[in-house]
Amino acid sequence: MTVRPFLLCFDDELAPAQRIAQAAGLELAVVERHRFPDGELKLRLPSALKGPVALLRSLDHPNEKLVELLLVAQTARSLGATQLTLIAPYLAYMRQDMAFRPGEAVSQTIVGRFLASLFDAVITVDPHLHRVATLEQAVPVPQAIVVSGAPLLSDLIARHHRSPFLMGPDSESAQWVAQAAQRHGFDHAVCHKVRNGDKQVAIALPDAPLRGRAVVLIDDVASTGRTVAEATRLALQAGATSVDVAVTHALFAEDALDVILQAGVRHVWSTDCIAHSSNAAAIAPALAQALLALHP
């Protein structure tokens, strides 16, 4: 008989956890959390965890959350969990996949191995992998599952535009742009980007006619917003009738959203992997399907 996993979450992610639990038919419990005056955490899990257990924790603003994962995973195993799955819609520390200067920590390798020491399986959405081909290489767990937000964003774009031009702000976005374009037969291309710092980027538009087209910029992550903003300004200068933005992960650090809108972006759409006012596509059904695939 198939034993379905028990789903755990924290109170700040109760709403998305409820959507996953409902879609997968799972029992759900909230991890109790207390913060001491000095910042240390005390967590309390359900006292009888038997069989497989899944934990939902999207790893935006990740530093404290990594400590939470350590405490939850080891406690769950001591309480009887036989298999642990991390559902991390956003997976942090994936961008630093090599040491660009001597002495730099390769955070992808370090954090990936840390997660693999705690969990038997990881489910995530559009991880930011560049020089690493598969999630298993970054997070060496027995089972690593990648869900993509590109089909959801493509369907959303199709509801708003009949024949848009999909454009990636840089070469790293090519995989998501191509996937979204293929789903509905949209034209697509990617820009060329040279980054000179966290907030300084130079963009060259692709060799494609944009005049008179509705352009939609697609990427896995929007963080500082500077790359998207520059691509937007150039597309409008090239004659695009409008520019919208569709991203899987709405990080939007500091003034990023304002920067994007001031550049002339009309609509900003995102999946709900990270809670944000731009959320327009629900990832819960896909995550529920991926979790149930681990327990056929």
Q: Is 193 a catalytic residue?
A: yes
Of 42, 50, 65, 193, which is the active-site residue? 193
How far lies 40's CA from each of 37, 111, 221, 238, 253, in Å? 7, 21, 30, 53, 25
Amino acid at 227: T
- In order of 23, 121, 202, 286, the CA distances from 19 in angstroms are 6, 20, 40, 11
Q: What element of type H or E holds 54?
A: strand 51-56
User: What does the block give as tokens for 295?
Assistant: 């327990």
Q: Is the Cβ–Cβ distance between 114 and 66 less than 8 Å? A: yes
DSSP letter assigned to residue 4: P
Strand partners for 147: 125
In the three-class reduction of DSSP (H, G, I as helix; E, B as strand; rest coil), residue 223 is classed as coil
DSSP 232-248: HHHHHHTT-SEEEEEEE
Residue 186 one-letter amino acid: F
Give me the active site residues, please.
Answer: 193
